[in-house]
Structure 1
Amino acid sequence: MKHRYQAQLIQFLQTELSVPASAINTALRQYHSTHAPLPMVLWHYGLITLDQLDRTFDWLESA
């Protein structure tokens, strides 16, 4: 279940927010070492904007 949910999140990030796969891969490496929420990792490393972070949280609430 967790893997499917993460796959849906990654799909959203790529299709709706146009986050490059390389940025997602970078964030996933950090996510696996810190276990911080993936959207927060993306934002922390400057891979998404604050607006994109808000949109991601909105998506997460409705998913």
Structure 2
Amino acid sequence: MIIHSTQKGEIQMTPSRYSRLINFLQEDLAISTASLDVALRHREQNTGSLTMVLWQYGLITLEQLEQIYDWLETV
């Protein structure tokens, strides 16, 4: 697992890990492509984490957010 930190303290994932995260969101948590598109657009505007943007906009539940962080710890 390779993670790069940026100057703002935000964690950047490798492209491979990011792709696996997107796959996990769609396949395991059944997050729609439309929801991901919305989150990605808003993430670009405020540079927040994709998962936090999904949660802030009500596109995932708190339980799903916890599942994502559990998944991130195991990959």
Q: What TM-score do you get using the length of structure 1 for normalisation?
A: 0.90
Corresponding residue for 1:23? 35
Q: Mind listing any 5+ residue stretches in structure 2 that lack a counterpart?
A: 1-12
State the structure with more CA Rg: 2
Q: What TM-score do you get using the length of structure 2 for normalisation?
A: 0.77
In the alignment, structure 1 residue 37 sits paired with structure 2 residue 49: yes
Indicate the RMSD between aligned Cα atoms, in angstroms. Answer: 1.2
In the alignment, structure 1 residue 2 sits paired with structure 2 residue 18: no
By percentage of residues, which structure has more helix? 1
Q: Size of the alignment, in residue pairs?
A: 63
User: Displaced runs of 4+ in structure 1, greater than 6 A?
Assistant: none
Once the two structures are TM-superposed, the CA of residue 7 in structure 1 deviates from its matched residue by 1.3
Q: Which has the higher contact order (CA 8 A, sep 6+)?
A: 1
